Amino acid sequence: MSALKLLITFFLVAGSFVANAQQTYLWKVSSPHTTRISYLFGTYHKVGESFFDSYPVLREALQSSTDVVTEVELNRQKLSLLYQDKPATTDSLRQTLAPKDYQQVLRILGDSSDKVKQLDPESIVSRLQNRFESLNCSALKGTDQYLLDEYIQVLAEKLNKENHYLETVNMQLTYLDDTQKKMTWSQARFYIKLILKQYSRYKKSGKLTCNLADNYTQFRLKYQLDQSCKKLHAEKKKLVAERNEKWMQLLPVLIEKNSTFISVGLEHLHFECGLIMQLRKLGYTVEPIPMLTADAP
């Protein structure tokens, strides 16, 4: 698995729900035991830093906090070091694809054939899809250098905030391995050819295919705070509900100690088992904060 795939897939929640949504992803958290204010922010991993910078209240909330909590450290250099010594496997991708398709994959990924040998089928498909979306997704501006979660960590470091991480790299990889079936090279060939067709159509038409990211940036996602988590399918229970339970063992401790800016994937705020409702059950007041652009009246 590559560092780029890690940056994309570490935020393990990509599901979305479209309806009359709360017009914000920022929530104020007040403790009954202290006057300190903390914040809860739901992110979407395929949005860049321009989204964050468009809403001054987000930076104000982060600046007013002493601690910043995110899911996992996204230091690109450290992530690269985890995989740079990974031995090459067999040249399965070259054997799987037609020569023309193989060369196109190398061009899109910008990798050498030796580096591609280190990738498993899931990694190649994920990187191709993410590369395709980054090229044509309206939610990622041309000036964006970071994805949203990574940008929050970079900004926190610049502002001399104390960074905390809810999980380690290995913990998140274990969650992925436990919930995803291994992809065969035959299956990878099907998905790669499909992505290459999408890429070809986009090159000709210029049409955008970023529905999930657009739903996020347009505040079309609903929280469904009254929905029971018992109805969630097994994979989502593991990726969302089980992880929320573990995080709730740490978050109240941090909130009581310092003013804390908590930034996690948006779906971790959804449902009765989401962090909003879990904090409320412990007696915290959790209220939405309107997100307005700088030029809003």
151-171 pLDDT, tens digit per residue, is 999 999 999 999 999 886 555
What was the pLDDT predicted at 20? 36
Number of Cβ within 10 Å of residue 67's Cβ equals 18
Average pLDDT for 186-207: 72
Looking at the chain, the whole-number percentage of residues with pLDDT higher than 70 is: 70
Cβ–Cβ < 8 Å for 64, 99: no
pLDDT at residue 131 tops 50: yes
Burial of 140 (0-12, 13-18, 19+ CB in 10 A): buried
What was the pLDDT predicted at 175? 47
**Which tokens hold the place of 277?**
């409702």
Q: Has this prediction a pTM greater than 0.75?
A: no
Between CA 127 and CA 265 the distance in angstroms is 20
Q: Which long-range contacts (CB under 8 A, 24 or more apart) does 141-147 make?
A: 141/48, 141/50, 143/50, 144/48, 144/49, 144/50, 145/48, 145/49, 146/48, 146/49, 147/7, 147/8, 147/45, 147/46, 147/47, 147/48, 147/49, 147/74
**Which tokens hold the place of 19?**
């309806």
Cβ–Cβ < 8 Å for 29, 255: yes
Q: What is the pLDDT of residues 71-114, one digit of tens each?
A: 887 766 555 555 454 444 556 777 888 888 888 888 777 765 56
Between CA 120 and CA 202 the distance in angstroms is 26
Alpha helices (H) along 87-226: 92-96, 99-109, 113-116, 121-136, 148-158, 169-179, 185-205, 211-217
Cβ–Cβ < 8 Å for 251, 262: yes
What was the pLDDT predicted at 69? 95
H-helix or E-strand spanning residue 276: helix 275-281
Q: What is the pLDDT of residues 245-283, one digit of tens each?
A: 999 999 999 999 999 999 999 989 999 999 999 999 999
**Which tokens hold the place of 120?**
């498993």
What was the pLDDT predicted at 179? 45
The torsion angles phi and psi of 264, rounded to 5 degrees, stand at -140, 170
